Amino acid sequence: MSEEKSAFEQAYSDEGFWDKLVRYAKTAGKELVEKALWLYYASQQPATPLWAKGVIYGALGYFILPVDAIPDVMPGVGFTDDLGIIAAALGTVAMYIDDEVKRLATQKLRDWFGD
């Protein structure tokens, strides 16, 4: 397996993730934000292996990059490609999305969207 990181993995940073999420949470919608938070919090868990973190960082890197298949500023469809990438990553690393990850994400969603 190659040790090289994809361009999307290289684009990922915690600061970039939180900046994009905070700026676009309402526009992106609760479902996308929830799934992105699941990936983020799963990447922070010590039990998540490096290969899974690579998948997560690649998906979240795609999310935070300003250039993607469908520009995020397009009303109604701008985040559909991001959701597709995040859903594919979730399918790959689903075994690391545990109750603690979901609890952390739910709390952050309540902070931003209310109950």
Supply the pLDDT for residue 48. 97
Specify the pTM. 0.78
- Decide: 68 and 105 in contact? Cβ < 8 Å: no
- pLDDT, mean over the chain: 82
User: How many Å apart are CA 91 and CA 54, to the nearest integer?
Assistant: 14
State pLDDT tens for residues 49-96: 999 999 999 999 888 876 654 554 444 456 677 888 899 999 999 999
Token readout for 106 is: 């739910």
User: Smallest Cα–Cα separation from 86: which of 109, 63, 102?
Assistant: 63
Token readout for 10 is: 């290289």
Supply the pLDDT for residue 92. 96
